[in-house]
Structure 1
Protein backbone atom coordinates (compact mmCIF):
# COMPACT_ATOMS: atom_id res chain seq x y z
CA UNK A 1 0.00 0.00 0.00
CA UNK A 2 1.33 3.41 -0.96
CA UNK A 3 0.67 6.45 1.19
CA UNK A 4 1.59 10.09 0.99
CA UNK A 5 3.21 10.98 4.30
CA UNK A 6 4.12 14.21 6.05
CA UNK A 7 7.12 12.90 7.96
CA UNK A 8 10.43 11.30 7.11
CA UNK A 9 10.54 7.61 6.32
CA UNK A 10 12.23 6.19 9.39
CA UNK A 11 15.15 7.09 11.64
CA UNK A 12 17.20 4.95 9.24
CA UNK A 13 16.83 7.33 6.32
CA UNK A 14 16.17 10.99 7.06
CA UNK A 15 15.20 11.78 3.44
CA UNK A 16 12.19 14.03 2.87
CA UNK A 17 8.80 12.35 2.64
CA UNK A 18 7.26 11.36 -0.67
CA UNK A 19 5.36 8.23 -1.73
CA UNK A 20 5.96 5.67 0.99
CA UNK A 21 5.12 2.03 1.61
CA UNK A 22 3.13 1.41 4.78
CA UNK A 23 4.03 -1.78 6.62
CA UNK A 24 3.37 -2.88 10.20
CA UNK A 25 2.16 0.61 11.10
CA UNK A 26 5.24 2.43 9.80
CA UNK A 27 6.01 4.27 6.55
CA UNK A 28 9.06 3.40 4.46
CA UNK A 29 10.56 4.67 1.21
CA UNK A 30 10.58 1.73 -1.24
CA UNK A 31 14.40 1.54 -1.16
CA UNK A 32 14.52 1.81 2.66
CA UNK A 33 12.31 -1.22 3.28
CA UNK A 34 15.10 -3.79 3.42
CA UNK A 35 16.44 -6.26 5.95
CA UNK A 36 18.85 -4.61 8.39
CA UNK A 37 21.09 -7.71 8.35
CA UNK A 38 21.22 -9.09 4.79
CA UNK A 39 19.95 -5.91 2.99
CA UNK A 40 17.36 -7.89 0.96
CA UNK A 41 14.51 -5.66 -0.24
CA UNK A 42 11.26 -6.49 1.54
CA UNK A 43 7.60 -6.35 0.59
CA UNK A 44 5.20 -4.41 2.77
CA UNK A 45 3.67 -6.64 5.43
CA UNK A 46 5.93 -9.61 4.68
CA UNK A 47 8.68 -9.04 7.19
CA UNK A 48 9.35 -8.88 10.91
CA UNK A 49 10.46 -5.91 13.00
CA UNK A 50 12.67 -5.70 16.06
CA UNK A 51 13.41 -2.41 17.84
CA UNK A 52 11.57 -0.58 15.00
CA UNK A 53 13.93 -2.02 12.37
CA UNK A 54 12.77 -4.35 9.56
CA UNK A 55 14.25 -7.83 9.09
CA UNK A 56 13.49 -10.60 6.62
CA UNK A 57 11.99 -13.62 8.35
CA UNK A 58 15.14 -15.72 7.97
CA UNK A 59 17.40 -13.11 9.57
CA UNK A 60 14.84 -12.37 12.28
CA UNK A 61 14.75 -16.04 13.29
CA UNK A 62 18.55 -16.32 13.18
CA UNK A 63 19.05 -13.21 15.31
CA UNK A 64 16.12 -13.28 17.71
CA UNK A 65 14.73 -16.81 17.51
CA UNK A 66 15.04 -19.46 20.23
CA UNK A 67 18.77 -19.97 19.57
CA UNK A 68 19.61 -16.63 18.00
CA UNK A 69 23.04 -15.04 17.88
CA UNK A 70 21.95 -12.48 20.48
CA UNK A 71 21.34 -15.22 23.04
CA UNK A 72 24.07 -16.32 25.47
CA UNK A 73 26.21 -18.73 23.42
CA UNK A 74 26.16 -22.38 24.43
CA UNK A 75 29.67 -23.58 25.20
CA UNK A 76 30.38 -27.27 25.09
CA UNK A 77 33.55 -28.99 26.15
CA UNK A 78 34.85 -32.31 24.88
CA UNK A 79 34.10 -33.86 28.29
CA UNK A 80 30.39 -33.07 27.88
CA UNK A 81 30.04 -35.60 25.07
CA UNK A 82 29.50 -39.27 25.89
CA UNK A 83 31.78 -41.50 23.85
Structure 2
Protein backbone atom coordinates (compact mmCIF):
# COMPACT_ATOMS: atom_id res chain seq x y z
CA UNK A 1 0.00 0.00 0.00
CA UNK A 2 1.40 3.40 -0.86
CA UNK A 3 1.36 6.53 1.32
CA UNK A 4 -1.69 8.12 -0.33
CA UNK A 5 -3.69 4.95 0.21
CA UNK A 6 -2.69 4.90 3.86
CA UNK A 7 -3.61 8.56 4.36
CA UNK A 8 -7.03 7.98 2.83
CA UNK A 9 -7.78 5.36 5.51
CA UNK A 10 -6.86 7.60 8.45
CA UNK A 11 -9.51 9.75 10.15
CA UNK A 12 -9.36 13.50 9.70
CA UNK A 13 -7.14 15.24 12.20
CA UNK A 14 -8.76 17.19 14.98
CA UNK A 15 -7.04 20.44 15.80
CA UNK A 16 -6.87 21.16 19.49
CA UNK A 17 -6.18 24.61 20.78
CA UNK A 18 -6.61 26.46 24.00
CA UNK A 19 -7.99 29.92 24.29
CA UNK A 20 -5.30 31.61 26.36
CA UNK A 21 -7.02 34.97 26.55
CA UNK A 22 -7.82 36.01 30.07
CA UNK A 23 -10.08 38.84 31.16
CA UNK A 24 -7.80 40.15 33.90
CA UNK A 25 -10.16 42.93 34.99
CA UNK A 26 -12.90 40.37 35.65
CA UNK A 27 -10.45 38.08 37.41
CA UNK A 28 -9.24 41.02 39.49
CA UNK A 29 -12.78 41.84 40.63
CA UNK A 30 -13.54 38.22 41.50
CA UNK A 31 -10.28 37.62 43.34
CA UNK A 32 -10.50 40.86 45.31
CA UNK A 33 -14.05 40.08 46.44
CA UNK A 34 -13.07 36.53 47.45
CA UNK A 35 -10.05 37.77 49.37
CA UNK A 36 -12.14 40.46 51.04
CA UNK A 37 -14.63 37.80 52.17
CA UNK A 38 -11.85 35.61 53.57
CA UNK A 39 -10.09 38.47 55.34
CA UNK A 40 -13.34 39.87 56.76
CA UNK A 41 -13.75 36.62 58.68
CA UNK A 42 -10.76 37.64 60.79
CA UNK A 43 -8.03 35.47 59.29
CA UNK A 44 -5.40 38.21 59.01
CA UNK A 45 -2.38 35.98 59.50
CA UNK A 46 -2.64 34.49 56.01
CA UNK A 47 0.22 34.61 53.54
CA UNK A 48 -0.07 35.28 49.82
CA UNK A 49 0.55 31.61 49.15
CA UNK A 50 -2.29 30.50 51.40
CA UNK A 51 -4.63 33.12 49.90
CA UNK A 52 -3.66 31.92 46.44
CA UNK A 53 -4.47 28.36 47.49
CA UNK A 54 -7.91 29.52 48.62
CA UNK A 55 -8.45 31.08 45.20
CA UNK A 56 -7.66 27.79 43.53
CA UNK A 57 -3.88 27.60 43.68
CA UNK A 58 -3.20 29.01 40.23
CA UNK A 59 -0.36 31.31 41.28
CA UNK A 60 -2.12 34.48 40.13
CA UNK A 61 -1.30 36.45 43.27
CA UNK A 62 2.35 35.55 43.01
CA UNK A 63 2.94 35.68 39.25
CA UNK A 64 0.51 38.29 37.94
CA UNK A 65 0.51 41.02 40.57
CA UNK A 66 0.68 43.74 37.94
CA UNK A 67 -2.52 42.46 36.30
CA UNK A 68 -4.52 42.44 39.56
CA UNK A 69 -4.37 46.06 40.78
CA UNK A 70 -7.57 46.07 42.88
CA UNK A 71 -6.52 42.89 44.63
CA UNK A 72 -3.06 44.28 45.39
CA UNK A 73 -4.58 47.51 46.77
CA UNK A 74 -6.80 45.43 49.05
CA UNK A 75 -3.83 43.37 50.24
CA UNK A 76 -1.81 46.54 50.92
CA UNK A 77 -4.75 48.01 52.83
CA UNK A 78 -4.98 44.84 54.93
CA UNK A 79 -1.18 45.09 55.38
CA UNK A 80 -0.45 41.66 53.92
CA UNK A 81 2.03 43.12 51.43
CA UNK A 82 4.18 46.24 51.46
- State the TM-score, normalizing by the size of structure 2: 0.23
The structure that is helix-richer by fraction is 2
- State the TM-score, normalizing by the size of structure 1: 0.23
